[in-house]
Structure formats: C-alpha cells, structure tokens
Structure 1
C-alpha cells in the first residue's frame, strides 16, 4: 500500500518557528484546510500535519512559497523516520518505495543551526551510496517533472523526507541566499536591499526596473548601506537622514543628502524607487510608506518592518492588511510581497510595485 504524504515541511530561521506555525495555520484555515503544527524552539523547521486523510499536495499548491513570510522552503513530506545508526539507508529506501515518488535530484539538508551544521559529514558520507541505490530502483531518474527529493536531517538518527516542485520552492540549498559583502559599502545592511531585489525582482527585469538614471529616495539612509546599492545601479538618490553619510558615496555626485525627518519629507516629483530601513514601530513605518504609495510618489518600494519580540506574525499580518486595504480604497493596483530574508534578523522585508 502506497504511503500518502500527509504533512508539509517548512524551513525557517531558527527562533521563528512559532511565527511560521501561526502563519501557516492562519493561511491554511483561510484556504479551507485544517491541521496541526509541530516545532521545537530554535529547531529551524516546522511540520504541519493535515487533519483527515487528504494528501498534502493540495494545501501545498494553495500556499505557494512566495506567499509565505517566514518560510524559507516548502515541501510535501512523509512522516519523520527514526533510524538505527547501523543501517540508516534501508528505512529511507523502504519509505520511498511505499511513497511511489520519483525525482531528478536529491538534496540532503540540515536545519540552519549549530547542531545541524555538525551533521555535514554524515550527509556527505551518505550521499553517494544513497543516490546509487535510488537510481538502481528507478526513483532517481533523468525525467521526473523537475521534482526534487529533500532529506532534512535533524539528528544523526532522525530524518524527514520531502519532495519539492518547480515553481513552488526555493532553488537555494536550505532556502538561504548567501551574498558576498561588497567591501566598498558603508554597512552590512546593504545586503538586505540586494537580497530583496533578488527575491522580488526577476533577474531578467533588473536592467529595466533597476535602471541607470532612475530616481530614488532612501529614508533613514545614514551611513548609506542601502543608498550604496542604488548608486551602484546608477541611480540618483535623495538620502534622507539627520546622521552623516559615507564620504565616498557623497563623492559620486549621485546622492543629495537632506538632513530631514524621513517620516515627513515629501519628494519634489514622482520617483522610481523608495527604500526605507528606519528603526521604528512597524505600524508607523507602514503608515508612512502607505502615504507614499496612495499618493503614487514612487513606482516601487522596499521597506523593512522591525518586529516586536512577541506576536510577530499578527503584527506583520495587520500591517500588510492595512496597506492592502488602503491601496484598494483609492483604487491603486499593486503587487505586494513580504518575506523574512536571510540577511534580515528581527525584521521582515516588504516590496510593493504599483501597476500602471
């Protein structure tokens, strides 16, 4: 009898398991599904087991990864396996045989934790013999619809098998985008904006939507981490901050530094981009960006919402709902995305693109 996948498996930044579990439960409920989330504090992943006997594939399609804030990866999963250290491979092969799954590649992964990283030697040692056995049994093959098998090792004797599908998964190991810090940038915060562009702007569209000669504003700019990214793309930037800006950035001639309050400053004309990484209450930042978007002062915006220590998902959900409703009231059509990026810490990144 074949084994039906009854779970979804999500990866996340360690420490945000509860937030992801709350988000998945809320959005699954809105889509008409019920289930129970399982997670351990600091574990770096969340299991969501469906109620009833319907396969998890339907919920997986109803909750695309790009629509989730706190998830790094989304998989349809089988039940976790507890293994004997003398024979780890046999139970894996048996469960896969029962599932009937076939796939084109195999990724062995661990949670983004110190304990997870310590398992790297084990996964490397198992990789070749496992793939050889899977190929002999016909599960690992050249043409299988782009499906990928994931093995999430949470301990040396515990693994969970999941499968991912093209178009509804991260193509990055662990769902983590790792970027190299540009040495000429004034601060490491520069990576947050670069990662946001990778996440929200398709790479083939960069030359059009992140074009040389565009006009941008950076609210809360000092010392210039986000401004550096705008200048690097050839944009002209209004840098709004009472603090000092990086001298090398100012020497480019592409930056106009205005020592003003970012919450009240208004642009002289419509800009291409608004970016903002101000440390303040999420609701206050959302209200400020909302004003920009309702008045069409920019075409696209990227801004961070600093999260409270508790009730992080409800705060994010409330901010996004207010923004969506405000734009709808005035008839402004927009694409809104929100993700907890790798280079974020206690914040999430929101992207809005007004649709002309």
Structure 2
C-alpha cells in the first residue's frame, strides 16, 4: 500500500500534484506525484515502505484544498469473471475494515461504471462479511474500492475520521425548486463541509443576521433565509421576488466591496466574480474589523499557478490576523459545486 490515490475535479490534477508534493516534502516522505489532465485523479507514489500511511497520518484531509477523496493502497487487475474471489485474495493482506465504499472517477467513463458498481456492491459486501474482512465498526478503516474499469480497481483504505464525508467527495444535495439559482448548492455544501452538523443549530440559527455580497438573484441569500436569518443583500442587480416576500431580506443596490454594516453581523457570504486577491483583502477587512463573526467566500482562480496563488492568499490572511493578534480559523476547499474557484471559511474565535 505505497500509493496514495486522490480524487479531484477534472482539470485540477496538476493542483493536486503540487499540493501533495509540498505535503510530502514537509513530512520528509520520498516519492513523486503524477496525474493525467482530465482524469479526475492524481497519485503520489512513495519510494519507501509505509510512505503513503505517513502522508495520511501527517495531514488532516479536511485541510487539503484540491483533493476530494484519498486512499492508500495499490491497483489490482481483475478477470472478466469471478472478480470477488480475486478481490478476497488480494484483501487478505489488508486490515479488517469497518465500512465499504465503491467509487469511480468523476469522468464520463466513471459515470458509465456507476451502474456496474451498484450491481456489484451487494454480492461483494456479502462475500467480505462472510470472509470476516468487513465488519460494521466506525473505528476501523474504510475500504475504498475505486474502479478505473471493470478490469482494474484501486484497493484503498482510509480512516473514516480522516477522509471525505461522502463517496468520491461528492455530496448528494437536492436543488430546492424555490431557490432562485443553482449557486445555492455551493453555500449549502460549504456549511456541510466546514461546520459540524451538530453545531448548525447554534452557528446557523434563526436569531442571527447575515450579509450576502453580490447577492442577486439570491442563491446564497436563500440559504441564509432558509435558516431564518435576517439578511442584507448587496447587489446592483434584482433579487428574486420570492425572497423579498419573506420579509427577511433588505436589498441595497451599492458596491459590495466598499459597503460595511453599521452593526456587526453573524455571517458574511460572498460569491462575487473578482480577482482573488481583492476578495481576500475584503474578507480580511470584514473579519479583522469585527464586521462579522464568520464568513464564506469564493476565490476565483487564475488560469495558471492556481495552487500557488491560493496558498499565497491563505498565508497572507493568516499572517495579517496574527499581526493583529486575532485568533481566526481559516479553511479552504474546492467543493464539488465549485468550478474555477475555491471556497474559504473564516471564523473569528
């Protein structure tokens, strides 16, 4: 199990390779990263025994930016028939696992394999349980089988508490018909990603206030209103009438980068299309100035050096808050519903 497999958004394989190469260098793990453009995954091949496990133990998955999922293991060739027997034999050297996910890559080929995985999972699960390789125990590692094709699979494992929340890192969120735009799913996914579900009632409560910068037509405002918050929507464009009819939204047609609330608010969210450095400077001002307690903002990425740009901006934010002696948690992830962007969550502690 000397290879680390990482799922990602198609087109961001290079960013995953850059991020993992930096992580491996920091942890002193020898190896090399590789990824094929559009393949929706990358690999880090370790040169030393136990290297992949050291990488996973030395980092928290939720602190990685571009990977959607990860697992350590090896590829296995499968026959046309009797795949289960071959899998059982190969898994004899793997630890006993507490759960099972069958995954594919986020490509057209992967989507075609999804039906195969759905049919294959039940008999495989039954065989694994019968052989004692799979027991229901969340304290044990998860078995992640990523099918590259019907004839090749990556046998991987990952700790349940240090891997993706959903298979392939893709949440199954349903688009609310009453929401004015599909961008609403970005903010909903951000909350699932950055805020533990048991804290939603205290950190996303109806007695809170929020500001949505670049709000129109109201996809992100909808999520705030859905939680019962009073929202100030900032945008020169029109807001959906359904949101205005709730009585919870005040719409101001002003510049989102210069406007500030007269009183501090609980939440500021922003999905404005702007250079990432300007957006980062804006959220720094909101947090350091005490204008909001928590914020979710999207950073639109440049065409090149995307990982380097994100790291630079995150470091700049961290240094700025430390210089002001502020305790601020900063998290950043390329979410499934993101495109050429990453989503950042900041919380003043």
TM-score, normalised with respect to structure 1: 0.93
1:95 to 69, 90, 93: 90
Query: Is 1:203 the equivalent of 2:197?
Result: yes
- Separation in 2, partners of 1:55, 1:330: 38
Query: Is 1:15 the equivalent of 2:50?
Result: no
1:115 corresponding residue in structure 2: 109
1:263 to 257, 264, 270: 257
Query: Is 1:50 the equivalent of 2:37?
Result: no
The runs of 4+ residues in structure 1 deviating greater than 6 Å are none
Shift of 1:62: 1.1
Shift of 1:306: 0.8
3-state DSSP class of the match of 2:321?
helix
- Separation in 2, partners of 1:120, 1:202: 29
3-state DSSP class of the match of 1:182?
coil
Shift of 1:322: 0.8
1:299 corresponding residue in structure 2: 293
1:112-148 deviations in whole A, cap 9, x for unaligned? 1110121134324433443344334322234583322
1:333 corresponding residue in structure 2: 327
| Alpha carbons 1:238, 1:257 under 8 Å: kept | yes
Q: Structure 1: give runs of 5+ residues left out of the alignment.
A: none
Give the aligned CA root-mean-square deviation in angstroms.
1.7
2:61 to 48, 61, 65: 65
2:72 to 70, 73, 76: 76
- Separation in 1, partners of 2:195, 2:139: 26
| Alpha carbons 2:96, 2:140 under 8 Å: kept | no
Comparing 42-51 with 130-139, greater Cα deviation is found at 130-139
1:246 corresponding residue in structure 2: 240
Shift of 1:82: 2.5
- Separation in 2, partners of 1:84, 1:163: 22
1:85 corresponding residue in structure 2: 80
- Separation in 2, partners of 1:220, 1:143: 45
Classify 1:244/1:144 alpha carbon distance in 2 versus 1 (closer, same or farther; 3 Å): closer
Shift of 1:336: 0.8
1:41 to 19, 22, 37: 37
Shift of 1:246: 1.5
2:267 to 268, 273, 276: 273
- Separation in 2, partners of 1:27, 1:96: 28
TM-score, normalised with respect to structure 2: 0.95
Shift of 1:175: 1.4
Classify 1:255/1:127 alpha carbon distance in 2 versus 1 (closer, same or farther; 3 Å): closer
**Residues 110-189 of structure 1: matches in 2 within 5 Å?**
110-143=104-137, 145-189=139-183
- Separation in 1, partners of 2:321, 2:170: 31
